[in-house]
Amino acid sequence: MPQSSLLLHPKKPDKNGRIHNVTPRNAGWTYVGFEVYDLKKGMVVEKPTGKQEVCLVILSGKARIGAGKDKAFQDFGVLGERKSVFDGAPWSVYVPAKSAYKITATTACQIAVCAAPGTGKLPARVISPSEVGQQTRGKGSNTRYVRNILPETEPAESLLVVEVITPGGNWSSYPPHKHDRDMLPVESYLEETYYHRLNPPSGFALQRVYTDDRSLDETLAAGDGDVVLVPKGYHPVGAPHGYDLYYLNVMAGPTRIWKFWNDPAHEWLMKA
């Protein structure tokens, strides 16, 4: 059976250390870009942002990061402190469009590059762990822990970026919801990527992506380091017993607001 086009496995690092490269063109959509770099100490990634704003999320390890445009380029110093994505909130850097960033790995590190359209009207800035809003969502076996890196309440032009920890045996993005219609105020159109990590890494997560008419209906087994694309439809995730699940979400669309629509068949769970 051929692999689903929605499930992307990490590739062998290229010369720049890149192991994932999602672009609007290869994803078949308009807004979201996503990359992951697995860097050895001393490696450098230096890139212009062009017509996209970027949020650099340090997944693990430490790196010296600079960002900005011309004379406004700032050296933010060495950032990062967690050994893995399960060790607390991340250090991140917002980089505007029409500028550039430079990452120099000061230890072995992994960096996620989240991208969406921008005009460059905002300055580059560091988002420290203390600035990351954290909350507990759900109850019982639907409990998960949310780290809001770049929510709609914080400055950006298109990007919404969030990390979620789902304990083993629990569900997340549940009850199933979607955001594939530009129909505010009840629903917003947002493309989305899920970058999955498992603890221990030998585990897997189950993610279903489906539409009301079932023209899209796939159930995917995501391993440690995999990316799942959500172009449309409902997209619940389950973490099997014994394996905690982390995922990094990147969302973007024509309006920077997260308004979701619950699957009517399961909305009763919101009132239970």
Beta bridge partners of 101: 47, 67
* pLDDT at residue number 2: 64
Amino acid at 104: T
Tell me the residue type at 143. Answer: T
Q: Say whether the peptide bond before residue 185 is cis (omega within 30 degrees of 0).
A: yes
Predicted confidence (pLDDT) per residue in 187-213, tens digit: 999 999 999 999 999 999 999 999 999
Write b or e for each residue in 252-269: b if 16 or more Cβ atoms lie within 10 A of its Cβ, otherwise e: bbeebebbebbbeeeeee
Query: What 3-state class would DSSP assign to 249?
Result: strand
Two tokens at 178? Answer: 């979607």
Mean pLDDT across the chain, nearest whole number? 96
Residue 55, both tokens: 């949020």
At 27-61, the pLDDT tens digits run: 999 999 999 999 999 999 999 999 999 999 999 99
Could you tell me the two tokens for 263? 């699957």
Q: How confident is the model at residue 254 (pLDDT cuts 50, 70, 90)?
A: very high
Cβ neighbours for 266, distance < 8 A, ≥ 6 positions apart? 175, 176
Which pTM value belongs to this model? 0.96
pLDDT at 140: 93
Instruction: Say if residue 146's pLDDT is above 70.
Output: yes
Q: How far apart are CA 172 and CA 43, in angstroms?
A: 35
Q: Is the dihedral of CA 29, 250, 178, 131 positive or negative?
A: negative
Number of other residues whose CB lies within 10 A of the CB of residue 59: 21
Tell me how far CA of residue 111 lies from CA of 17, 80, 207, in angstroms.
10, 10, 24
Q: How much is the pLDDT for 28?
A: 96
Cα 86–chain centre separation: 15
In sequence order, the β-bridge partners of residue 20 are: 36
- Secondary structure class of 268 (helix, strand, coil): helix
Residue count of the chain, please give it: 272
Other CB atoms closer than 10 Å to residue 168's CB: what's the count? 15
Q: What is the pLDDT of residues 108-134, one digit of tens each?
A: 999 999 999 999 999 999 999 999 989
Domains of the chain: 8-270 (2.60.120.10)
What residues contact 1, with CB distance under 8 A and at least 6 apart?
Answer: none
